[in-house]
Amino acid sequence: MLWVKALHIVFVASWFAGLFYLPRIYVNLALVPADSHAERERLLLMARKLLRFTNLLAVPALGLGLWLWLGYGVGRGSGWMHAKLAVVLLTLAYHHQCGRLLRVFERGENLRGHIWFRWFNELPVLFMLVAVVLVVLKPW
């Protein structure tokens, strides 16, 4: 079980690294002048590659977490685990929204400014903080 936990932590941390950086690319895309096509295309390429890599990292993170929960009964029936699962669902929704935002940028339809993306970029930090506190402290 310790190997499963260790790998789960590694993949979750890697998944979140992608979720931390992808919206930073969106901040930069929102700042690109309309006449700077090369810069825009370079940032879009970076965002596409990072989203694809982040998608791949999410799969083992979720699979190993499911293994811990179902296979070993970690936190089954505990209030903290229900709260953590809610955070996981919020993180998945955020990840999905990152993909939708990339498609908006690719179509040239973004209407949001860089400040909105800076705030959007802070959400996964809060998700990770809450998840770690729930797992470590098991408050209820």
pLDDT tens digit sequence for 50-109: 999 999 999 999 999 999 998 878 777 789 999 999 999 999 999 999 999 999 999 999
What range does the domain containing 14 cover? 2-137
For the chain, what is the domain count?
1
Q: Tell me the pTM.
A: 0.95
Note the pLDDT of residue 109. Answer: 97
12 neighbors 61 (Cβ within 8 angstroms): yes
Mapped onto helix, strand or coil, the DSSP state of residue 109 is coil
Percent of the chain clearing pLDDT 90 (strictly above): 91
Q: Which of 84, 78, 82, 102 is nearest to 18 (CA)?
A: 102
Tell me what pLDDT residue 78 has: 87
Q: What pLDDT is attached to residue 68?
A: 93
